[in-house]
Amino acid sequence: MSKPPSRSVIKMIFTNFFNSLKPRQYKGNYVGEDYFGNKYYEIPANPSLGQRRNQRWFEPTEKEAYGQEITAEWEAWLRGRRKQPPTVEELTQNLAIMKMKERNAADLEKKYGKPKDAAELEKRTTGIGSFPDYEEYEITPGKGKREK
C-alpha cells in the first residue's frame, strides 16, 4: 500500500508565492462587436490564480452614455448563460426579426388605431389608479349616489 502524498505547508507557501510573481493578463481578448458598435472582451479563467470564471465585459461606443443598449445574445454571453459568443449570422437574423415586428406593429397601429371609446374612458378615470369613476356608483359606502 502506498502512502498518500503529504501536504507540506512550506511547499504550498512557496508555490503560491511564485505563482503570484507570474505576469497576469489585464488586457482582454477581443471577442466581437454588435450592430450598435459595442466591443466585447474576455479574459479566460485561470484556476491556478484563483480565477474560476471568465472575466467578460464590453466597451460602449459612447463612453459617457449610461443607457447603452446591448443585444440579448451578447447580454447572455456576458452573464455566462451561454458559453460561445453569438455569431454574426445569428445577430443579423434576430435584427431582421426585430425590424419585422416593428413594421408589423406599426401596420396594426395604422390599421386599427385607438378605439373610439378610449378617449371617453380616459375622461372618466380619476384618482391614483385607473379605475373609472361612474356617476351611478357610490364613492364612499353608505353615502348614497353622487349628486350633480
Residue 123's pLDDT is: 58
CA distances from 69 to 64, 118, 125, 136, 142 (A): 13, 33, 35, 49, 53
Q: Give the residue among 24, 85, 84, 80 at the shortest CA–CA distance from 50.
A: 24
Helix (H) or strand (E) holding 32: strand 29-33
SS3 72: helix
Question: Which string of DSSP letters, residue by residue, matches 92-127?
Answer: HHHHHHHHHHHHHHHHHHHHH-S-THHHHHHHHB-S
Q: Give the residue among 88, 33, 34, 84 at the shortest CA–CA distance from 54.
A: 84
pTM: 0.58
Residue 50's pLDDT is: 74
CA distances from 66 to 33, 62, 85 (A): 18, 9, 23
Full pLDDT tens readout for the chain, 148 residues: 566 666 788 888 888 888 777 777 778 899 999 988 899 999 888 777 777 888 999 988 888 877 778 899 999 999 999 999 999 999 999 999 999 999 999 999 888 876 666 555 555 555 556 666 677 777 777 776 655 5
Measured on CA atoms in the order 88, 91, 94, 99, is the torsion positive or negative?
negative
Residue 30: beta bridge partners?
Answer: 41
